[in-house]
Amino acid sequence: MDEQPLILTKRNDGVAIVSINDDPLNRMSLAFIDELEGVIEDIAADDAIRAFVITAEGTTNFSVGMNLKELGSGIAERGGPDAFFDQRINVIGRIETMGKPSVATLFGYCLGGGLELPLGCTFRLAAEEGAQIGLPEMDLGTTPAWGGSARLAKCVGRNHAIDMILRAKKISGPEALRIGLVNEVWPLAELKDRAIALASELATQPRLAVKAMLDTLHDSEDKTLDELLAGERAGVHATMGTADAAEGIMAFLEKRPPVFNQQMD
């Protein structure tokens, strides 16, 4: 019998839907990370994909995080802890910096890597009910290792990050919205559809302009005003004279919605 794939991918026009396929726990095993690495590179290389969703099969949990039983063997196979954890950090970093917007769904347990992966996404949507979101590594006698502490602090600020990490807190979807960890909260039954709808909306935006803004605003809290202005100006130069810029101006003058990315279809 063939083993089931660890990741399911679907296409919806310009949107890729990436789903962890280990329901109900949706663990991030060694093989899963290897597979995810390839999937993300495929998305980055495919110009027809303009946005993507990261979700999970079922409605029980997004992900309980890494399969801890594989930790020792994984470190040995990868040649040490740094190589092991760097692979995970690099995959999440690739999601964050490829220049295509991503939308993550948070429901049920979103713990450890199950939060660190969404923290690399452009948008995070949480379930209104049942979500338990956190970095519980303190309960294991250790610390987050996939960039979770750094990205959480950048996202919600030092005080909220310290509170969550040192107390190994698991917070709800509405609480995650309150502190700025997620962008929207939806009933669980509507969550995945809303994530796909948001990604579809983002996919209709002008590709080069979206990439320019994602590049400019990446780590914007650590950039000077001059650096941000330079990034903005680079975006202007990258989009001037493009088919999308012409379409946007023409649509404005004709008082109709613009239709971008036609040159890619």
- Output the six-digit token pair for 199: 């990604």
Which are the contacts of 15, defined by CB distance < 8 A and separation ≥ 6? 49, 50, 51, 52, 53, 196, 199, 200, 203
SS3 133: strand
Mean pLDDT taken over the chain = 95
Highest mean pLDDT among 184-193, 221-230, 242-251: 184-193
Catalytic site positions: 116, 137
Q: At what angle do helices 158-166 and 148-156 cross, to 10 degrees?
A: 140
Closest to 161 (Cα-Cα) out of 178, 173, 149 = 149
**C-alpha distances in angstroms, 255 versus 247, 251, 263?**
12, 6, 21
**Looking at the predicted structure, is the pLDDT value of residue 265 above 60?**
no
Average pLDDT value for residue range 233-260: 94
**Looking at the predicted structure, is the pLDDT value of residue 1 above 90?**
no
Q: Could you give the CA distance from residue 60 to residue 103 in angstroms, rounded to a whole number?
A: 19
Q: Could you give the CA distance from residue 18 to residue 51 in angstroms, rounded to a whole number?
A: 11
Give the pLDDT of residue 263: 60
Q: What is the pTM of this model?
A: 0.94
Residue given tokens 């109900």 in the structure block: 24
pLDDT band at 139 (very low <50, low <70, confident <90, very high): very high
Give the pLDDT of residue 212: 96
For residue 241, count other CB atoms closer than 10 A to its CB. Answer: 8
Quick one: how many helices (H) and strands (E) in the chain? 11, 8
For residue 225, count other CB atoms closer than 10 A to its CB. Answer: 7
What domains are there in the chain, each with its CATH number? Answer: 7-203 (3.90.226.10), 207-264 (1.10.12.10)
